[in-house]
Structure 1
Amino acid sequence: MSEMQEYDVIVLGAGPVGQSVAARARAGGLSVAVVERELVGGECSYWGCIPSKALLRPVIAVADAHHVDGAREAVNGPLDTAKVFGRRDRYVTNWDDSGQANWVKNIGADLFRGHARLVGARRVEVETPGVGVVVLTCRHAVAVCTGSTAALPDIAGIEKARAWTNRKATDSSDIPARLVIVGGGGIAVEMATAWHGLGSRVTLLARDSGILPRMEPFVGELVARGLTDAGVTVRTGVSVTELRRLEIEGPLWVSLDDESELEVDAILFAIGRTPNTADIGLQTVGLDPGTWLDVDDTCVVRGVDGDWLYAMGDANHRALLTHQGKYQARMAGEAIVARAAGRQLDTAPWGAHVATADSHAVPQVFFTDPEAASVGLTAAEADRRGHHVQVVDVSIGDTVPGAYLYADGYGGQARMVVDLDDGHLLGATFVGAGVAELLQSATIAIAGRVPVQRLWHAVPCFPTISEVWLRLLEALRDTPSTSTQNGRA
């Protein structure tokens, strides 16, 4: 066992979240150790956001061309899949993390490769390949940024099915002739879009909750219609009960609870995530291994004395999105630096130190055809929370010139949820081609609690899809405010 090494901050996990908190701590003058058991850059860089969007972009680009007269005639034949996979490989640097490892070192943090476990308060042991156990202690904080892993169902035949998760779905260069995807969330619909575009015959199976159930109901309807129109088979209200592969290299039989069967070549489960906290020593500080970590708004883990243990990103389950985890890391990093210097947290001039936007202003985009984007509360969520709201819907393609110039026969919808008591937005949702870039304006309006009356002075350019904001405001003005009470007409 090597000599004990002491740092101000120890970060468990070198993905985007761990890197963000490490950078903030170093910028504040604190010494930092970063521990990573796999690739520096984490799930997002190598098996999540980056490779999935690299695969999706060529598929969506072709779909966009097919929506425009004159352009569709120029698009002939299938995608060059070798080049698509090559593009993906470039963006994940061929799963070589040396560049990101150098970044960690260049900010002045020390990188330890190996598996880290807590062994009591402020103390971490790292099993390092070829070196043995390294003992690290911290003066101020241990930040758990270990992320999450795809969940697999406990059903008969799962062990022999060689089931895909997001990892295989984003790092494979072999195209299954027939792919079944189980799930109705973001990963499921994006991978259905990507792999259908790459040449698989895709069947998407979702339970009773349907497609993108956490967004406004019309989102799932429009995305499911887009997938169906493209050639994906979408089935809702069904569950997988058994998997059977009769031969090692033979087809996979998928049994469903409606007593039907599917013969496929591969199956992808996108049914949820589990926290990577089962083997990081939580029991040594009085917490249950394998659980999501409950945190306050500075990301301090509740139930541990001394306010030294933090958890950011997927590990705390507040919002399982990379951008939200990085946001939490920025806020928590500022809090760690302030506490280390003995400063009060309420003195930050720009509202740092406290992560609150992950409870009321969470943006999310799914890169399907059409795209789906939302931020804040849905109408149903606002209703459940007791807000007095007005819900305004606009058909984008029918009312926005920039939309039907963007794509012939543009189909899309927008919704705005307005708090009538406070006069600001609670939520906004957009479905349609190119709507992802509308979302930041909505996020600013919600996070900044901008009065709706001021939004009239944020003039959208003509002719752009962003003119939907003007249509939404006009619809709000022209609809009597008494017509909606708690989200209901």
Structure 2
Amino acid sequence: MTEAIEYDVVVLGAGPVGENVAERVRAAGLSAAVVESELVGGECSYWACMPSKALLRPVIARAEARRVPGLSRYVQGPLDMPAVFAHRDEYTSHWNDDGQVAWLDGTGAVLYRGRGRLDGKKRVTVTDSEGAVQVLTARHAVAVCTGTTAIVPDLPGLADAKPWTSRQATSSPKVPDRLVVVGGGVVGVEMATAYCGFGSAVTLLVRGDGLLPRMEPFVGERITDSLKEAGASVRMGVSVASVERDGGTGPVTAVLDNGERIEADEILFATGRAPHTQDIGLDTVGLKAGSWLTVDDSCLVTGSDWLYAVGDVNHRALLTHQGKYQARIAGAVIGARAQRVPLLETDRWGAHTATADHAAVPQVVFTDPEAASVGLTLKEAEAAGHRVRAVDYAIENVAGASLYAEGYQGHARMIVDLDSEILRGVTFVGPGVGELLHSATVAVAGEVPINRLWHAVPSYPTISEVWLRLLETYRG
């Protein structure tokens, strides 16, 4: 162990969130150290957002091209999978983080490679691959940005069966002939979409009664129908009781709770995420190892005046863009507190308050059709005590939708607060709707009154004209 090195801020985790915390505190004139045990750039860059969307893009583009007259007959064949995988590998930089390291170096932050652990107040130890230990201390703050890990349930035979998690699904160099996907959340439906498009015989097993349960119910219904049309088997209300695979090679068998056996070449468990806090020394600062970290709207851990938890690890909104949003706010807060500048905490939408985590979280699910939502669902708005009305419209009735694709099918819903006449939430499902979402996010985050939205004129003929139809429906 060498002599401790002092920085203004020490960041645990060099994913997009940790990178952005470091960049923001550096912009505030503070020194920063960043500790990372894997690749700089984190889960999103190498095993989640980037590779999954690179895999999904050709599947969705082909599906949409098949709905365009004059083009459809030219895109009926299989995908060029070596080219698809090469495209994926390019977007992960072949799992090499030199470019991300160069970006981080450009901010002036200092990178330490190794396993970082808290070791008491404002103190972090870093153990490198050879066992050498470096101690870092923070003058002002330590930010935990360690993200999450995939949950693999404790089922008989599962460990020996070597199941896929999201990491294997997004980095696999081959397409299994048969794939069982367990879980109906975002990872489950996106990977079912991708591998079904690659030619796998996909069986999607869902414990609940619908896909994407955190979105409006019609979203999961549309995606279920689409997956079935694409050839996937979608099974609701079933659970896996055990998994069998002789010697960890060869076919794998999922044994359901009703005794049914489903054989496949690979099995993917997409059954949730757990905080990556099991072995980062939380116990040395009075916190429970393996727990989510509860924070206020500045991302300061409850009961602390120096420890911040930013991104997925605080369980506020498990999305890369929300984590980066929190990082910008937390970095500004740390900088202001270090310089003894008053915070704007009393302003609900102030520079030091992560209000969007409660009121305006946007998300796109890259399935066919796409799903996009921001803010509250009808059920959530009513549970929160708002007096609201759901306004629905079939997107295929918009001229731009029929031009976009033959046989276009989609649905839009906005949740109107009847007392304030602002939008509490908006949901779209349909081809290409991901690009509609930011307009909805601006309307929800900006609390734009309905009367003002009438003056935001959508261009004709675009799918965005659905906004006009929603407003007309609301006014009657």
Q: TM-score range by the shorter chain?
A: over 0.9
Aligned to 2:474: 476
> Which digits, 9 at most, give the CA deviation of each residue in 1:334-365, with x for residues without a partner?
00000000011028998211111011110010
Aligned to 1:363: 362
How far apart are the structure 2 equivalents of 1:161 and 1:465? 46
Provide closer, same or farther for how the CA distance between residues 183 and 69 of structure 1 changes in structure 2, counting only shifts above 3 A: same
Quick one: which amino acid aligns to residue 359 of structure 1? H
Identity of aligned residues (%): 62
Secondary structure of 1:78's match? coil
Higher deviation after alignment, 291-300 or 203-212: 203-212
Secondary structure of 1:159's match? helix
Aligned to 2:246: 246
Kindly state the Cα deviation for residue 229 of structure 1 after the two structures are TM-superposed: 0.7
Quick one: which amino acid aligns to residue 84 of structure 2? V
How far apart are the structure 1 equivalents of 2:360 and 2:308? 22
Quick one: which amino acid aligns to residue 424 of structure 1? I
Aligned to 2:321: 323
Provide closer, same or farther for how the CA distance between residues 347 and 52 of structure 1 changes in structure 2, counting only shifts above 3 A: closer
Kindly state the Cα deviation for residue 76 of structure 1 after the two structures are TM-superposed: 3.8
> Contact (CA 8 Å) 2:21, 2:327: kept in 1 or not?
yes
Q: Does 1:277 align with 2:277?
A: yes
Secondary structure of 2:126's match? strand
How far apart are the structure 2 equivalents of 1:253 and 1:329? 43
Aligned to 1:162: 162
Matches within 5 A, 1:192-207: 192-207=192-207
Secondary structure of 2:226's match? helix
> Contact (CA 8 Å) 2:118, 2:124: kept in 1 or not?
yes
Kindly state the Cα deviation for residue 209 of structure 1 after the two structures are TM-superposed: 4.0
Aligned to 1:402: 400
Quick one: which amino acid aligns to residue 49 of structure 1? C
Kindly state the Cα deviation for residue 246 of structure 1 after the two structures are TM-superposed: 3.0
Matched pairs, number: 475
> Contact (CA 8 Å) 1:150, 1:165: kept in 2 or not?
yes
How far apart are the structure 1 equivalents of 2:398 and 2:53? 27
Kindly state the Cα deviation for residue 267 of structure 1 after the two structures are TM-superposed: 0.4
> Which digits, 9 at most, give the CA deviation of each residue in 1:450-485, with x for residues without a partner?
10110000000001000000010000000xxxxxxx
> Which digits, 9 at most, give the CA deviation of each residue in 1:224-244, with x for residues without a partner?
111111111111110000111
Provide closer, same or farther for how the CA distance between residues 342 and 164 of structure 1 changes in structure 2, counting only shifts above 3 A: same
Aligned to 1:150: 150
How far apart are the structure 2 equivalents of 1:342 and 1:247? 61
How far apart are the structure 2 equivalents of 1:353 and 1:9? 18
> Which digits, 9 at most, give the CA deviation of each residue in 1:105-148, with x for residues without a partner?
11101000000000100000000234710000001110000000
> Contact (CA 8 Å) 1:287, 1:303: kept in 2 or not?
no
Matches within 5 A, 1:340-355: 340-346=338-344, 351-355=350-354
Aligned to 1:486: none
Kindly state the Cα deviation for residue 405 of structure 1 after the two structures are TM-superposed: 0.7
Aligned to 2:257: 257
Aligned to 1:59: 59
Matches within 5 A, 1:331-342: 331-342=329-340
> Contact (CA 8 Å) 2:182, 2:204: kept in 1 or not?
yes
> Contact (CA 8 Å) 1:313, 1:324: kept in 2 or not?
yes
5+ long unaligned stretches in structure 1: 479-489
Kindly state the Cα deviation for residue 9 of structure 1 after the two structures are TM-superposed: 0.4
Provide closer, same or farther for how the CA distance between residues 120 and 209 of structure 1 changes in structure 2, counting only shifts above 3 A: farther
Quick one: which amino acid aligns to residue 19 of structure 2? Q
Matches within 5 A, 1:300-315: 300-304=300-304, 307-315=305-313
> Which digits, 9 at most, give the CA deviation of each residue in 1:158-178, with x for residues without a partner?
111110000000011111110
Quick one: which amino acid aligns to residue 55 of structure 1? L
Aligned to 2:382: 383
Quick one: which amino acid aligns to residue 360 of structure 1? A
> Contact (CA 8 Å) 2:300, 2:308: kept in 1 or not?
yes
How far apart are the structure 1 equivalents of 2:212 and 2:473? 26
How far apart are the structure 1 equivalents of 2:115 and 2:293? 19
> Contact (CA 8 Å) 2:179, 2:200: kept in 1 or not?
yes
> Contact (CA 8 Å) 2:12, 2:145: kept in 1 or not?
yes
> Contact (CA 8 Å) 2:161, 2:249: kept in 1 or not?
no
How far apart are the structure 1 equivalents of 2:417 and 2:274? 35
Aligned to 1:297: 297
How far apart are the structure 2 equivalents of 1:352 and 1:104? 24
TM-score, normalised by the number of residues in structure 1: 0.96
Aligned to 1:443: 441
Moved over 6 A (4+): 347-350
How far apart are the structure 1 equivalents of 2:365 and 2:76? 26
Provide closer, same or farther for how the CA distance between residues 155 and 406 of structure 1 changes in structure 2, counting only shifts above 3 A: same
Kindly state the Cα deviation for residue 62 of structure 1 after the two structures are TM-superposed: 0.4
Secondary structure of 1:101's match? helix
Quick one: which amino acid aligns to residue 387 of structure 1? H
How far apart are the structure 2 equivalents of 1:140 and 1:289? 23
Aligned to 1:174: 174
Aligned to 2:234: 234
How far apart are the structure 2 equivalents of 1:413 and 1:150? 32
> Contact (CA 8 Å) 1:122, 1:138: kept in 2 or not?
yes
How far apart are the structure 1 equivalents of 2:173 and 2:194? 12
How far apart are the structure 2 equivalents of 1:379 and 1:44? 30
How far apart are the structure 1 equivalents of 2:43 and 2:139? 29
Kindly state the Cα deviation for residue 247 of structure 1 after the two structures are TM-superposed: 4.9
Aligned to 1:210: 210
How far apart are the structure 2 equivalents of 1:249 and 1:14? 34
How far apart are the structure 1 equivalents of 2:356 and 2:285? 29
> Which digits, 9 at most, give the CA deviation of each residue in 1:213-233, with x for residues without a partner?
110000000011111111111
How far apart are the structure 1 equivalents of 2:143 and 2:208? 38
Kindly state the Cα deviation for residue 249 of structure 1 after the two structures are TM-superposed: 2.6
Pick from 458, 461, 468 the counterpart of residue 459 of structure 2. Answer: 461
Provide closer, same or farther for how the CA distance between residues 316 and 357 of structure 1 changes in structure 2, counting only shifts above 3 A: same
> Contact (CA 8 Å) 1:333, 1:353: kept in 2 or not?
no
Higher deviation after alignment, 290-299 or 121-130: 121-130
Provide closer, same or farther for how the CA distance between residues 71 and 141 of structure 1 changes in structure 2, counting only shifts above 3 A: same
Provide closer, same or farther for how the CA distance between residues 376 and 248 of structure 1 changes in structure 2, counting only shifts above 3 A: closer
How far apart are the structure 1 equivalents of 2:372 and 2:135? 45
Quick one: which amino acid aligns to residue 123 of structure 2? R
TM-score, normalised by the number of residues in structure 2: 0.98
Kindly state the Cα deviation for residue 406 of structure 1 after the two structures are TM-superposed: 0.3
Higher deviation after alignment, 377-386 or 124-133: 124-133
